[in-house]
Amino acid sequence: MKGCDHLPAVTLAELNDRAELLTRTDRKYVIATEDLDAVVTCVPGLRVLEIDGRRSSRYESTYLDTVGLDSWSAAAHPRRRRWKVRTRVYADTGERWLEVKTRGLRGTTVKERLPHDAPDVSGPAAAWVRDRLGAAHVHDVDTAGLVATLHTSYRRTTLLLPGDAGRATVDRNLRWVSGHGTAEVGDVLVVETKSGTPGPGPLDRRLWELGHRPVRISKYGTGLALLTPDLPRNRWHRVTSRHLADHLTLREGALA
C-alpha cells in the first residue's frame, strides 16, 4: 500500500512476539484512501509487516451462523454474549484456520483459532467450537448446524505500533458475497487498532488529530446488512449510510 511503502519492515515472527494480541481492545475507523499518507507519516516508529517481499496479503473469510442468524443478531442489537465463527484463508499462502471470536472482560475481543482445512464445521471441529463458546458463556448454539452465511475478501496491510503499543491493520478492496448478491467498496480503508490495554495508542491519537473517530463497523455485520434488505435496522446503519454509501457497488443474485 502506497502510504506504507516508506516504512521499515517487521517480520511475522517479531510481530507475533511483540503484539500477537489474541485478547485485545479494538478501535475501527473508516477513512478515504488518500488520507493514509497523512495518518502514517506522523507516527514515528511504525513498521510494516513484510512476508517474502509482500507488504499486503489477501484474506478470505467465510462466516458461519445459525439458520436464525443468532450470531448476527447478538451483535446487531447488541447483546452481551456476542460471538462469531468463521473459517479464514490466507490466500497468498493457502494457510487455513477455524476461528472463534467472543467478548471478554471490559469489552475486549478474544480470538481463538485452530488449523482447519474443511469448509464446514463438523465432528471434532464442531466440538471445539462448542467448547470455546461455552467457555465464553455462550450456550444453546448447535455448532453442528452452523451454515455459511457470508463470504468476505480484502487485502490487508499490518503495522507494528511503536513502544509495544500493539498493532494495526489497514484493509482495502472489501468485497462481500452471499446468496443475495455481492457488495464492494472502493476508495475507502478500514483501519483497526488492536491494543492490549484500554487506552488509545499513537495511531489512534494521530487519527483523532485528523478528525477521524472510531466507528461501529463489522465485516460480518455490515456485509450481511448490506446484502439482506429485510433484516431489521441495526447498529451498522450509520456506517453504511454515512461512510460507505458513496463508494458502494451492489449487485443482486450472485451466489457465494
Provide the domain limits for residue 162: 2-252
Q: What is the CATH number of the domain that holds 132?
A: 2.40.320.10
Average pLDDT, the chain: 90
Digit-coded pLDDT (tens) for 110-153:
899 999 988 788 889 999 999 999 999 999 899 989 999 999 99
Q: How far apart are CA 111 and CA 119, in angstroms?
A: 19
Question: What is the Cα 172 distance to its own chain's centre?
Answer: 11
Instruction: Report the alpha-carbon angle 168-184-220, nearest 5.
Output: 60
**What's the domain count of the chain?**
1
Q: Counting beta carbons within 10 angstroms of the beta carbon of residue 17, is it exposed (0 to 12), middle (13 to 18) or buried (19 or more)?
A: exposed
For 50-107, the pLDDT digits (tens) are 999 999 999 999 999 999 999 999 888 777 788 999 999 998 888 999 999 998 777 7
Report whether 45 contacts 162 (CB < 8 A): yes
Q: Is the pLDDT of residue 255 over 70?
A: no
